[in-house]
Structures are given as C-alpha cells and as structure tokens.
Structure 1
Amino acid sequence: MYDVVGISDGDTIKVRINGVKESIRIIGLDTPETRKPNTPVQCFGKEASSNMQSLVQSKQVQLEADPSQGERDRYGRLLRHVFVNGSTNVALAQIEGGFGKEYTYDGPYAHRLEYLAAMNRAKTAKRGTWGPPCNGFHEGLATTAPAQPTPTASAPVVAPSAAPSAGTSQPGTCSIKGNINSDGEKIAHRPGDSAYERTKISTGKGERWFCSEGEALAAGWRMARA
C-alpha cells in the first residue's frame, strides 16, 4: 500500500514509494489534457482531474505492474494499475463515469476488455465527455469554444466564397497553416513562425487553413512554437 501525495491529472497520480515521490501513469486509461505543454485544456479535463482526486487523494493505493507493458513510459513515470481499498479499480471507475477512455499504448494488457466494455457503456449513456458539451473525447477546449468577433464597420464580414477552397495552395484571407505531422499531431503555424514558409498544406490529408488562433485551437490544433 502506498500513500497518494498528489494528483497530476485524470490519469496520473503521485505516490510515495520508500520515501521517494513517484509519478504513476495508470495503464489503460487516457483522460482529456489539462497540463500538457502547448496543449489547450481539453473538454472535461478538469472534471476528470477532480474525479481522480475524489477517488485517491490522501488515500492509500495498491499498485500492480503489468508484464505486457514497460516499467516506465518515455517521461519516466511508472506504469501501473491502481486500486483503492483492494477493490476499486481506478481506471475502470474513470472510464465507467465518462471521465476518460480506454487507451492501448504498447499492446493488450490486463483488464483491457473490461475497460472497453465500460467505455462503450459510457458512450451509449452519453456520460461525461461523451455527452454535452464535449460530445466526444478530446473535442474542443475546456467547456466553451472561443467567442466569435462581432462584425463592425472596421472589420467587414468575409463572404464564404472568399475563404480558401479545398486543395488551394494559397491562404487567401486566412493565413494560419493547419499542418498534420508524420506522428498525426495537429500543429498550426502563424506567419513569422520558424517553420511557416516550409510548411505545405494538403487538404486531402485533412490539413487546412485557419483565419485565427482561436479557430485553430477550437478545431483541435495546437499553436506551433514561434
């Protein structure tokens, strides 16, 4: 049994092991981001973190390694299944409540089929992130989309026909390039960013142009480092 000494987010906790504080990345669970660098707070992320806190904060937990997974992830966090009171499977509770989804990273693991079934139940019931306002996993920002600017005399409304059409190579009135890299990561590049000029947009791959940073973030892209 190990003392929980902190909550990082909805799928990562901190425990004390032999006097050393360790981050535990829970196997089979992924929740919306709240603290990932260069990533907006995602819809239902705060709720997922809060629910994790209610499950384990200031309690003792049991940690179970899984031989199908590595000992640690690429960030140095221990990979473990986590249980409270010897019976509550923390990942299962998060998924069942709609606070996260089943996540297979390095091949099948113990409890995977149970987690998949729980996720399907949550989706069917539209619990948590599967219902409004998120209506899906990792969709949009915290709970609201960025406000749209009110048209004024100095900011005329652009007619839909003025926006770039599918397959165009020029931005038209929209200059932010929504690129998808080889890892599938969506990155938006502003004019003046270091990679802007060499970034090419292929709408056939799902890439697109954006007219504002808010529009890009709301669509699931993150802004590139300048």
Structure 2
Amino acid sequence: MLFHINGMLRFWFSLVLMLTCAAVAQAADIRGKVRVIDGDTLDVGDVRVRLHGIDAPERNQPCTTLTGQNWGCGDWVTRQVRDRYQGAEARCEATDWDGTYKRVVARCFVDGTEINRAMVAEGLAFAYRKYSLDYDLEEKAAFVADLGIHGFVMEAPARYRLTRIKGRTAQDAKCRIKGNINAKGVRIYHVPGQKYYERTGIQAAQGEQWFCSEAQARASGWRRSKL
C-alpha cells in the first residue's frame, strides 16, 4: 500500500512538472504590445507577464520622503513604467511559470533594452534576490545614487504584500494602528489609547488593515479618529 501511494505521488508530481515546463516552453518567446498593469506586471499581447528578478512597489503602497512627507510610491512607479513602455512592442523570454497567479515570468525587451534591468537601474524596482541575483549590482548603484524609490522610506514590497494579505495582524507587534472603514465608507484609523481603539475590529476582507505608522495610514487614505 505504501509503495502504491508513493508511486501515485511521484506520478502526480511528474505530471505537474511536465505541465509547468510545457506552459513555460509554450510561452518561451512572447511578442506584442505592452499594457502596464503595475510596476512589475505587464500584458504583452494577450499574455500576462511577471518581470523576472525584480520587485516593484504595489500600486497602492505608500512611502515617506526623507523630509517626512507622505507619498504614493506604488502609483508613482506604475505611472513611470506606463510612461516608458505603454504601447511599445516588446519581446519576452520566459524563465518560469507563476502558477499562483497564472503568469509567465520573463525577461522583456523593448528596442533592445531589457526592461527588468533598466527598472532596477533607474530605481523603479528592487532586485528580487529571493529568486535571482541578476540585478544585484544595478540596485546597489541606484541605492548609492538615491534614485527613484531609494529616495523614500518604505517597506519592501514583499513584506507589504504579506502584511496586507494577512490583515496586518499580530505577526508584527509594531503595526498596531487600526485602519477601520465606518458605515459611511469613511476610512478612519485609531491609535492605541484612543477612545474607540479597543472596541474597533479589523476585517481585512473588507479592505480594513493594520498600519505601522500614522504616516503610512495617512498616505493610504485614512484619517485619524477625532476621539
């Protein structure tokens, strides 16, 4: 019986691997006009592409300037990428398949310039070292020069996604500001010690979330509770 189960597991693993490789191979050379989804995701023709080896701020991700001003880094990066590449003819070389979001992971080129590398070099994305060190030197040079997002204070995009998906709950003890949406749809945040803090609950599925600072809450569109 154990041999039979192990054999079935090997079969299913091999089948999944074969299908994944087939999907990547089928999309190995992608060509078409670019439609920018966000800083590191594009539609190239009718194929959704996640840019290999880089991680850009999420579209609604906030940050703070070095002088303490709130700034929408994610929206800014998306606009920059759109200004550069929207409507351009691109060629992409697939490197992997993102089964979770049904996207091809790829290097993409416009007029001979690699988009992935250019974005990191210009400070529009981080090198995603978890998956690749291809753009490590470009990020270091952009960091030294304070280019783009390196001139702001912000969370790593991967951490921002993690805390947003999980509702910014107690996994980070520093993120204790509650971003609540009231019955009228008004976004109000509560800090520890305020009158309604303890009785306020957070329902992440409805867009409510935890924040790590008041600056972050304001940059995301919440206002401080008056009580």
TM range (shorter): 0.5 to 0.7
Give the residue type in structure 1 aligned to 2:137: A
Aligned counterpart for 1:61 among listed residues 90, 104, 108: 90
- 2:142 corresponding residue in structure 1: 122
Asked if the contact 2:34/2:85 (under 8 Å) is kept, the reply is no
> Does residue 90 of structure 1 match 2:115?
yes
The Cα of 1:82 is off from its aligned counterpart by 0.8
Cα distance in 1 between the residues matched to 2:57 and 2:88: 23
Give the residue type in structure 2 aligned to 1:80: A
Aligned counterpart for 2:169 among listed residues 176, 179, 188: 179
Using structure 2 for the length normalisation, give the TM-score. 0.53
Distance of aligned partners of 1:193 and 1:26 in 2 relative to their CA distance in 1, 3 Å threshold: same
Percent of residue pairs bearing the same amino acid type: 20
SS in 2 for 1:179: coil
The Cα of 1:65 is off from its aligned counterpart by 1.5
The Cα of 1:23 is off from its aligned counterpart by 1.6
Cα distance in 1 between the residues matched to 2:150 and 2:142: 7
Alignment: residue pair count: 152
For structure 2, the 5+ residue unaligned runs are 1-29, 64-70, 158-166, 181-198, 204-209, 223-227
> Does residue 101 of structure 1 match 2:126?
yes
Aligned counterpart for 1:4 among listed residues 33, 45, 49: 33
Asked if the contact 1:5/1:57 (under 8 Å) is kept, the reply is yes
SS in 2 for 1:32: coil
The Cα of 1:136 is off from its aligned counterpart by 5.0
Measured against aligned partners, the alpha-carbon deviations of 1:131-153 in whole angstroms (never above 9, x if no partner) come to 1xx145559xxxxxxxxxxxxxx
Cα distance in 1 between the residues matched to 2:108 and 2:31: 10
For structure 1, the 5+ residue unaligned runs are 140-176, 196-206
SS in 2 for 1:65: strand
Cα distance in 2 between the residues matched to 1:116 and 1:217: 31
Give the residue type in structure 2 aligned to 1:24: V
SS in 1 for 2:97: coil
Give the residue type in structure 2 aligned to 1:11: D
Q: Which structure has greater helix proportion?
A: 2
Cα distance in 2 between the residues matched to 1:75 and 1:26: 13
Distance of aligned partners of 1:180 and 1:62 in 2 relative to their CA distance in 1, 3 Å threshold: farther
> Does residue 217 of structure 1 match 2:225?
no
Task: Summarize the alignment of residues 3-42 of structure 1 with structure 2, pairs less than 5 Å apart.
Answer: 3-16=32-45, 21-35=46-60
Q: Which structure has greater strand proportion?
A: 2
Task: Summarize the alignment of residues 181-196 of structure 1 with structure 2, pairs less than 5 Å apart.
Answer: 181=171, 189=178, 191-193=199-201
- 1:51 corresponding residue in structure 2: 80
Asked if the contact 2:129/2:136 (under 8 Å) is kept, the reply is no
Using structure 1 for the length normalisation, give the TM-score. 0.54
Cα distance in 1 between the residues matched to 2:129 and 2:144: 21
Asked if the contact 2:40/2:54 (under 8 Å) is kept, the reply is yes
- RMSD (Å) for aligned C-alpha atoms: 3.9
The Cα of 1:73 is off from its aligned counterpart by 4.2
Cα distance in 1 between the residues matched to 2:62 and 2:212: 19
SS in 2 for 1:80: strand
Cα distance in 1 between the residues matched to 2:98 and 2:121: 25
Cα distance in 1 between the residues matched to 2:156 and 2:219: 10
